Amino acid sequence: MIHYVGSGHGLSSLAPCQKEMQRCLLERTVGFPENLNWFTIQHAKPRPIPPSIVKSFTCAAKSFFATAHNGASFSESLQLYSSLIQQCIGIKSITDITKIQSHALKRGFHHSLGNKLIDAYLKCGSVVYARKVFDEVPHRHIVAWNSMIASYIRNGRSKEAIDIYQRMVPDGILPDEFTFSSVFKAFSDLGLVHEGQRAHGQSVVLGVGVSNVFVGSALVDMYAKFGKMRDARLVSDQVVGKDVVLFTALIVGYSHHGEDGESLQVFRNMTKKGIEANEYTLSSVLVCCGNLEDLTSGRLIHGLIVKAGLESAVASQTSLLTMYYRCGLVDDSLKVFKQFINPNQVTWTSVIVGLVQNGREEIALLKFRQMLRSSITPNSFTLSSVLRACSSLAMLEQGKQIHAIVMKFGLDIDKYVGAALIDFYGKCGSTEIARSVFNGLLEVDVVSVNSMIYSYAQNGFGHEALQLFSGMKDTGLEPNNVTWLGVLSACNNAGLLEEGCHIFSSARNSGNIELTKDHYACMVDLLGRAGRLKEAEMLINQVNISDVVIWRTLLSACRIHGDVEMAKRVMNRVIDLAPEDGGTHVLLSNLYASTGNWSKVIEMKSAMREMRLKKNPAMSWVDVEREIHTFMAGDWSHPNFRDIREKLEELIEKVKELGYVPDTRFVLQDLDEEKKIRSLYYHSEKLAVAFALWRSNYKNTTIRILKNLRVCGDCHTWMKFVSKIVGRDIIARDVKRFHHFRNGLCSCGDYCWKSCSNSISPWELEAARLVIRLLLWQPCG
């Protein structure tokens, strides 16, 4: 039943309406002079509007003109409005629809056209206007309800979609298969498990179950997104006439929940049934191959993509390059990337991520620059990855430039980028900046807190890490595996034995954390460094973990405390677990060397030669004026070696005056005392510091050193003295942690070099000597 509303719809009102329509149409066809009549419009040649549109408008107007004169019936007028609205959809003009709506409203046609108008607004992308009409008109067709729900979901407004869905039954409208195929996504988007299940129940009651493959695949997708793969499978099994979409939803579901093998099985079943995979399926299956590092299947899918002619499809190409880099084939990944004619943001990001994950950080940064040059905007994915590249290379200046780009795009409040920034500044030794980034985050989650705890941990700020950890409870954040490890490592790096033991037992007793070998390794390190070797050994035996890293950690502690007997025992365990491992032999050889057992050292070295094991040469890198310089112990190949040597001699003389005494215990070769002292002087980190000071004599910048092994104990003392005499900060990042040298002291509090045995070690004596010297040296008051 169609209702007329208002009274102005008769023939008498047609003339002004005609004028109104003429005005609307004239405005639509921009460029027409206003004094033209309908006849001239038919023959006029508009400038900016494409001829096809003008033609359609002219025909519509002609028809309206004719009906107006002949006395248009209600249905004729309605038809004309519908036709005009249809044309507006064609040119996606919301303005024109609004004009037609206002015209129709004056003539009382508004409500009769309600569903048409809703459809038109939605097709032109205006959910707001559509909703306005939806709320105004009394007789909404089921199509209007379904269209509103689908549009809200497409626009990421799932809550409003659910509101509309929940109003259907009270309004006397029963949801149909179109409703359910849309609405389940709204529940999964919002993570509303119970509500989603209830809607599933309602669909069964209404008889709109899985007989429809659209409803079935939407349900499979919803259950998969909830992580309920068993339910997803049960629904899928009931669907008759399964299609490629349903299978893809299942494949993606399994993959997202770590069951990539099952995904591949589903894919095989699908192809067995003769269902052809499309671009969506193939991209998803490639992700599974990448996650499984299953290159054979990955290459097979690559073949299928070529066969299906989908090589140029962007998503499958992106997945292809992702699959190759996850399988470690960076060059193949780059080959795929080269085939892109116009790489998009995701493609650029994928290739950058792949390079960073495979340790090709420098090329990743190069690609990032190319991306910016091709005017592709980086997103939070891209920026967090390039920041990771800068962290790995300790490239402070580059990272700062990327931080500026982050600020430009307003992404410094993003939790992913924020965590990457915190990690970056932490790894570059700038804990204060890391903290200010942390404080500026819009949303703090467990990952950003973990990043901050790690920054503190790496830089020896144990108490700060503990404080942040205890504050987590107030913010309602639950610590995870990574948090416990971070805070344990903070205690370890700062030598907080008691606190570390307390944290470890809390983690063990918390009940909801599964401790991994990393947690145990950290605890063994803490106990071992503190000299509680027996306890450390007992802990390993107690948990019965056969992991080479844990035993090697204990071996390293044996070396610090000179426990040769335990070291031999531990070494046997290490060799059992990793017979080819060179590091173990180096450790034992160093242990013999530090106890002066040179015959054993020679024995070990010849054993290592036979096994063709090599000790990694110690290397240091220093960043001076954005240029990286590499140094090796006793290597004078640097073009400025004369200046470096001169600077080094000068520094050594000055630090000696302040009390520096070379500690030859750190020379692991059998040399006479004088030669030992000379070999200490030319350690790579000393060369790097001397070079940096020579090149930047009159500047007050921080010197940043990166070392591939741990900083040697003698160099550690030497750098403390140097920081005092030159009044400059030195930050040394070694393989384990950071050392901030400032004004004669180090942030590690010398914990790394302190022996915890009962007798006073030479190091403690040296530290005491240093403190006295500094006290004397500093002016009082």
Partner DNA sequence: TTAGGGTTAG
- Scanning residues 95 to 134, which ones bind DNA (CB under 7 A)? 115-116, 119
User: Beta strands 730-733 and 703-707: pairing type?
Assistant: parallel
Contact code string over 362-401 relative to DNA, x by CB under 7 A = -----------------xxxx-xx--x-------------
The Cα 764–Cα 632 span in angstroms is 29
Of 726, 727, 750, 730, give the one whose Cα is nearest residue 740: 730
Least separation in angstroms between residue 330's CB and DNA is 14
Give φ, ψ of 703 to 5 degrees: -95, 130
Among 18, 42, 63, 357, binds DNA (CB under 7 A): 357
DSSP assignment string, 48-72: SS-HHHHHHHHHHHHHHHHHHHH--
Among 202, 297, 347, 459, binds DNA (CB under 7 A): 347
Least separation in angstroms between residue 176's CB and DNA is 7
- Scanning residues 738 to 777, which ones bind DNA (CB under 7 A)? none
- Scanning residues 685 to 704, which ones bind DNA (CB under 7 A)? none
Least separation in angstroms between residue 20's CB and DNA is 25
Q: Which listed range, 99-107, 309-317, 502-510, 748-756, lies at the site for DNA (CB under 7 A)?
A: 309-317
Kindly tell me which of 212 and 458 has the beta carbon lying closer to DNA: 212
Least separation in angstroms between residue 479's CB and DNA is 15
Least separation in angstroms between residue 517's CB and DNA is 19
Q: Are 286 and 256 in contact (CB under 8 A)?
A: no
User: Beta strands 619-624 and 627-632: pairing type?
Assistant: antiparallel
Residue 675 Cα to chain centre, angstroms: 50
Is 283 a residue that touches DNA (CB under 7 A)? yes
Burial of 163 (0-12, 13-18, 19+ CB in 10 A): middle
Give φ, ψ of 441 to 5 degrees: -65, 140
- Scored b (16 or more CB within 10 A) or e, 113-150 reads bbbbbbbbbbbbebbebbbebbeebeebeeebbbbbbb
Helix (H) or strand (E) holding 623: strand 619-624
Kindly tell me which of 392 and 696 has the beta carbon lying closer to DNA: 392
Of 321, 261, 265, 271, give the one whose Cα is nearest residue 294: 261
Of 429, 370, 377, give the one whose Cα is nearest residue 399: 429
- Bridge partners of 741, per DSSP, are 730, 746
Is 248 a residue that touches DNA (CB under 7 A)? yes
Among 161, 186, 235, 246, binds DNA (CB under 7 A): 246
| Nearest 10 degrees: Cα torsion 117, 120, 121, 124 | -170
Two structure tokens written together for 182:
């849309």
Q: Which listed range, 22-30, 274-282, 693-701, 705-713, lies at the site for DNA (CB under 7 A)?
A: 274-282
Is 316 a residue that touches DNA (CB under 7 A)? yes
Contact code string over 154-193 relative to DNA, x by CB under 7 A = x---------------------xxx--xx--x--------
Q: Which listed range, 396-404, 414-422, 669-677, 760-768, lies at the site for DNA (CB under 7 A)?
A: 414-422
Is 349 a residue that touches DNA (CB under 7 A)? yes
- Scanning residues 442 to 471, which ones bind DNA (CB under 7 A)? 445, 447-448
Kindly tell me which of 343 and 528 has the beta carbon lying closer to DNA: 343
Among 49, 190, 234, 244, binds DNA (CB under 7 A): 244
Least separation in angstroms between residue 162's CB and DNA is 15
- At position 559, the amino acid (one-letter code) is R
- Scanning residues 201 to 230, which ones bind DNA (CB under 7 A)? 212-218, 221
Contact code string over 503-542 relative to DNA, x by CB under 7 A = ----------------------------------------
